[in-house]
Chains A and B, each alone.
Chain A
């Protein structure tokens, strides 16, 4: 009996010990932390590690609907959420709402060791800390290209030529893939293509849109040419369904998010001939502008404005712990292209690094760009279906954007 008790005590002690090993102090010992963000695995990892700080009350609400609730959840006083995990496209909604605070003093106090390139500064003030990068780039089937003696494409023109060759060979009927689902995905592809064609979205220094030009037509024409080689349902394919097409072996070339390539190259859900030959390439170009037809993305965290300084401090140290080098292990390493020290890129992530190295443009971080993105997503599927001209589609985009930007007070 005594032995048994002792054994119990020992194991209890061991358990206690292991918990203590996880829960270390992060430099601040009390305060409230509440995280709102998207739900993909990398963000789950960050939130779980933020929760390991001893003494802090850490909660998280990670959901696909995070963009619908983060603004409302940070507008109260005190704010429900002390931090929101956002990307460069979505930080502007929080900036516009004036619900996040500059982090300069907290960086000076607790964040001296955060590498400079992770700090997102807007107008000289640190507003967010980035922890992962993402970009779209070429993904191709090595075996099919080799068999037909096609060089790895570096431009969309070469993609079209390769697609024609593959189709002509009878190997695949629709060799090109792409996330062209009407709405956000389709708009993202247009943003890529338009930037790649060398276009500017706005009249310099203003919120006045200017996409109805030859660059816009060029971008749309290229998208339409590509869609001819896609599955006829391309307007319903988001990046999940595009990945499914890929895994089914129906596609040989596509422009895809770096964060998705790990899934394509693992051994689940596809035949060996597909996953073994899935290879990542670099960013593509369109036309002769020399620009890359893709955008760079980061994900990062912010700290709410309407909370006490103590909670802000607690939030800062917890989130810093959430992105510290210690979070990287065998499982988490492949979840994202981390910007954290000690991250070792796998071959699947090479595409994102190539895109960064090629000097692609970051996704525009402008207060009104979200409105344009929505307007684009709603107005180009008619053109891609051949129901209206490119000029008409572009003028619809401009009209839809102008109406919503006027409502929001960006235009008079």
Chain B
């Protein structure tokens, strides 16, 4: 296709992305290297319904001058990226030199918010992505064996975890898994431990979040794989059968290779979504046990005082993290791109 034609076809889509994604990303980049001005603090007397007290406030007149002189704020370079609430370079260095052993260093490292969150996020991504794909694949294979009449309803029920709004997780699932909820009681009965609570221990909370992650994202993999199964060429399957291949061998040598490109596509999307895991942490009130980079952003923006530069820096770190995780898949796609 000619450059000009290509351009005209692309322009509406490009414009939308440029305005609403690219420009905000640029402004986020700028915001992450500029911090608010130094605040001039003055002592003041505050009075209210509960009496008067001496307190402090920002001297607006003095601060306004600073603000007008440099409207973007003060340039701080990578200070915010390296501060204690992000990469914490100096704290990591100090922990390294003061540690008695590798175990001590790791526990000091994980006490820093960024690295603690990274551990959870990476574990979550590493567990949920393949499990959801695998689970979706198995469901798709199973549904494919059903008689035609049952296929329809089965597809539709299998999609439920994906289409029910995540708010339901906030409310109903959270209650169901409570120690006295219907699922919580069921798990206690299975584990034969009447005091078991999923929400009280870190390993169980992690497990719960991951099970939720798999539950809610398996349907996406299922639909895509199920559709993929319909395109496996019949003649290849038949010739494999004639050669005496067992059903397992047929899946292994015929179906799986056929579905590989599809797996790449879904892995890309799912790694990205899982790395940004956020909703289940908030919905299950799990922040005591598990945090993620997206949760930090939420926290920075939702506090009494918003930390815009900090949230901007965390967002940039998220994008970098996703790019690193995706790079193997992207390199593959890059090689394949010219071929088709």
Q: Report A's interface with B, CB cutoff 8 A.
A: 67-68, 71, 88-90, 92-93, 95-96, 98, 117-124, 130, 133, 181-184, 205-207, 231-233, 235-238, 296, 298, 339, 356, 360, 362, 364-371, 373-374, 378, 381-382, 385, 388, 392, 396, 399-400, 402-404, 406-410, 412
One of B35, B37, B202, B305 near A92 (C-beta < 8 A): B305
A407 and B111 form a contact (CB under 8 A): no
A410 and B39 form a contact (CB under 8 A): yes
One of B38, B55, B60, B299 near A374 (C-beta < 8 A): B299
Q: How far is the CB of A240 from chain B (nearest CB, A)?
A: 10
B195 and A232 form a contact (CB under 8 A): yes
One of A117, A371, A382, A392 near B303 (C-beta < 8 A): A371
B199 and A120 form a contact (CB under 8 A): no
Q: How far is the CB of B289 from chain A (nearest CB, A)?
A: 8
Residue of A nearest to B304 (CB): A370
One of A98, A118, A181, A237 near B49 (C-beta < 8 A): A118
Residue of B nearest to A404 (CB): B307
Q: Please report the C-alpha to C-alpha distance between residue A287 and residue B200 in the assembled complex, in whole angstroms.
A: 29
B179 and A409 form a contact (CB under 8 A): no
B57 and A93 form a contact (CB under 8 A): no
On whether A233 and B197 interact (CB within 8 A), knowing A122-B46, A356-B50, the answer reads yes
Instruction: Tell me, yes or no, whether B41 is within 8 Å of chain A by CB.
Output: yes
**What secondary structure prevails in chain A residues at the interface with B?**
mixed
Q: Please report the C-alpha to C-alpha distance between residue A364 and residue B48 in the assembled complex, in whole angstroms.
A: 12
B39 and A408 form a contact (CB under 8 A): yes
A133 and B56 form a contact (CB under 8 A): no
Q: List 12 A-B contacts (CB under 8 A).
A: A68-B306, A71-B306, A93-B306, A117-B49, A121-B47, A205-B56, A367-B41, A374-B303, A378-B299, A392-B111, A404-B307, A407-B35
One of B46, B76, B307 near A365 (C-beta < 8 A): B46
Contacts of B302 in A (CB 8 A): 67-68
Q: How far is the CB of A226 from chain B (nearest CB, A)?
A: 16
**With contacts A182-B285, A236-B199 known, what are 12 further pairs, Cβ within 8 A?**
A90-B304, A95-B58, A96-B58, A236-B286, A298-B48, A360-B50, A374-B305, A400-B113, A403-B83, A404-B310, A406-B83, A408-B35
Q: Please report the C-alpha to C-alpha distance between residue A184 and residue B200 in the assembled complex, in whole angstroms.
A: 19
Per-residue A-contact encoding for B45-89, CB less than 8 Å = 1, 0 else = 111111101011110100110000000001010001001110000
Q: Please report the C-alpha to C-alpha distance between residue A366 and residue B197 in the assembled complex, in whole angstroms.
A: 39
Contacts of B305 in A (CB 8 A): 92-93, 96, 368, 370-371, 374, 408
Q: Please report the C-alpha to C-alpha distance between residue A381 and residue B205 in the assembled complex, in whole angstroms.
A: 14
Contacts of A374 in B (CB 8 A): 299, 303-305
Instruction: Tell me, yes or no, whether B167 is within 8 Å of chain A by CB.
Output: no
On whether A400 and B85 interact (CB within 8 A), knowing A95-B58, A412-B38, the answer reads yes
Interface size classification for chain B: 35 or more
Instruction: Tell me, yes or no, whether B185 is within 8 Å of chain A by CB.
Output: no
Tally of contacts, chain A with chain B, CB under 8 A: 168
Q: Please report the C-alpha to C-alpha distance between residue A205 and residue B56 in the assembled complex, in whole angstroms.
A: 7
Residue of A nearest to B313 (CB): A407
Contacts of A89 in B (CB 8 A): 304
From residue 104 to 122 of chain B, which have CB atoms closer than 8 A to chain A?
111, 113
On whether A385 and B48 interact (CB within 8 A), knowing A98-B64, A367-B39, A408-B36, the answer reads no
A404 and B57 form a contact (CB under 8 A): no
One of B41, B111, B310 near A410 (C-beta < 8 A): B41
On whether A339 and B56 interact (CB within 8 A), knowing A370-B303, A370-B304, the answer reads no
B301 and A68 form a contact (CB under 8 A): yes
Q: Please report the C-alpha to C-alpha distance between residue A388 and residue B46 in the assembled complex, in whole angstroms.
A: 38
Contacts of B245 in A (CB 8 A): none
Q: How far is the CB of B276 from chain A (nearest CB, A)?
A: 19
A407 and B199 form a contact (CB under 8 A): no
Residue of B nearest to A123 (CB): B44
Per-residue A-contact encoding for B229-271, CB less than 8 Å = 1, 0 else = 0000000000000000000000000000000000000000000
B197 and A388 form a contact (CB under 8 A): no
B113 and A378 form a contact (CB under 8 A): yes
Contacts of B91 in A (CB 8 A): 399
B45 and A96 form a contact (CB under 8 A): no
A96 and B39 form a contact (CB under 8 A): yes
Instruction: Tell me, yes or no, whether B215 is within 8 Å of chain A by CB.
Output: no
Instruction: Tell me, yes or no, whether B287 is within 8 Å of chain A by CB.
Output: yes
Q: How far is the CB of A123 from chain B (nearest CB, A)?
A: 4
Instruction: Tell me, yes or no, whether B193 is within 8 Å of chain A by CB.
Output: no
Q: How far is the CB of A64 from chain B (nearest CB, A)?
A: 10
Q: How far is the CB of A212 from chain B (nearest CB, A)?
A: 15
Q: Please report the C-alpha to C-alpha distance between residue A117 and residue B64 in the assembled complex, in whole angstroms.
A: 31
Instruction: Tell me, yes or no, whether B309 is within 8 Å of chain A by CB.
Output: yes
Contacts of B74 in A (CB 8 A): 409
Residue of B nearest to A115 (CB): B49
Q: Please report the C-alpha to C-alpha distance between residue A319 and residue B91 in the assembled complex, in whole angstroms.
A: 50
Q: How far is the CB of A353 from chain B (nearest CB, A)?
A: 12
Contacts of B80 in A (CB 8 A): 407
